[in-house]
Amino acid sequence: MTRGRGPAGPPVPFIVGVTRSGTTLMRLMLDAHPDLAIPPETHFVPQLIKTANKRGASCEEAHGVVTGHRQWGDFGLDSGELLRRYCALDRIEAESVVRTFFELYAEREGKPRWGDKTPNYIKRMKQIQRTIPEARFVHMIRDGRDAALSRFKRLLKEPPPIETVAERWVKKIEGARADGEQLGGYLEVQYENLVRDTEPELRRVCDFLELPWDPAVLHYYERAEDRLAEMARDLPGEEGKPMRPADHRREAHLLTSKPPDPTRLARWKEEMDPSQNAIFERVAGDLLSELDYEVVSR
C-alpha cells in the first residue's frame, strides 16, 4: 500500500513496524547506500519534540533529552558538539533540534542524507511528519506469528499471552494504515517479499524515497557487523525496561550479517504450537488473510 507524497524536498525515511518485523534489515539495507545514514534506534524523538515545543525551552534542555536517553551511547557522537550546535540555533524549536541531531550523525558517517529506524514510531508518524514535513514512512510488515516467535526468543521477561500479542499486532498495523491515509508519504513493505524478491522490493523503496539506485544496498550484509558494533554495549535499564546485555543485543541481529534466507520464512509452521496458532488466527485471521498469509485453523 502506498500513499501520495507530501512536500517537495529530499525525503527522510522513518522505518517503523511491529517489533521483529524486519526493521533492522531494512535499516542496514538503506544505510548501505552511499547517500544515506540511519543510526541505531533513537526512541527520544517524541520527547525531544515535546520539550522543544515548550515555551522558553533551552538548548540545554533539548540536549539533555538526547544525551540523557539510554540509547545515547549507541550513536558515537560528541555530547559537547551536539550542545554547541543546539546553542548556536536561532531558536529552539522541534524541527531544528531533531534535524541537528540527525545531521550530526550523517556528517560523522560522511553522508548527505539521514533517516531513522525506530519500530515504535509506528504510533508517532503524524507527530513526526508535522515536525519533519518530508518524512516518509516505510512500514515493515511481517507475519505476526513469526514476529511473535522471534520476539519471544529475545524477551528478558515472561512473554504476554498469545491472544494479547495477536491483538497488539492487529491494532498496530491497522492503526498505521489509518494514519497512513493522512500522511504525505507512506509505504508498506512485507518482510517476506523483501527476503524473496530483494532487489525489486529495494528498488521500490528507493523510488519511494527518491534515492538513486545503488547496488550497495544489496550487499548490506558485508558491512552489517561493523554497523551493528555501535550497539556493542550494555543498554542501561530504566523504569519498566530491564538492562539488556551487549551479547543479547548483538545476538538479536546476527542473521543480518548474511544474505536474505527464504528458508527461514513461515517458521511458525514448525515452531508454533497448533493451539497457539489457533488462538492467534482467531484474533488476527482476517488481517493475516488480507495480507496473503496462510491461515490454517478456519
Determine the pLDDT at residue 6. Answer: 40
Instruction: Report, in this order, helix, strand and coil percent for the chain, each rounded to 5.
Output: 55, 10, 35
Determine the pLDDT at residue 92. Answer: 97
The residue among 87, 111, 135 that closes a domain is 111
* Residue 160, Ramachandran bin (φ over 0: left; ψ between -120 and 50: alpha; else beta): beta
Whether residue 126 is found in the same domain as residue 169: yes
C-alpha cell at 193: 517479499
How high is the mean pLDDT in each 10-residue block of the chain (298 residues)? Answer: 50 97 96 98 97 96 97 96 98 96 98 97 97 97 95 72 96 98 96 98 98 98 90 76 71 80 94 95 97 90
Is residue 240 a part of any domain in this protein? no
Whether residue 78 is found in the same domain as residue 162: no
C-alpha cell at 238: 530504566
Whether residue 20 is found in the same domain as residue 44: no
- For the chain, how many helices (H) and strands (E)? 14, 6
State how many domains the chain has: 2
Is residue 103 a part of any domain in this protein? yes
Whether residue 265 is found in the same domain as residue 186: yes
What letter represents residue 142's amino acid? R
Determine the pLDDT at residue 232. Answer: 77
The residue among 48, 77, 111 that closes a domain is 111
Whether residue 290 is found in the same domain as residue 261: yes
Is residue 251 a part of any domain in this protein? no
* Local structure of 188: helix, strand or coil: strand
Which domain does 47 fall in, by range?
39-111
Is residue 249 a part of any domain in this protein? no
The residue among 111, 145, 174 that closes a domain is 111
Q: What pTM value is reported for the model?
A: 0.93
Whether residue 163 is found in the same domain as residue 262: yes
Is residue 238 a part of any domain in this protein? no
Determine the pLDDT at residue 178. Answer: 98
Tally the residues of the chain: 298
CATH code (residue 20):
3.40.50.300
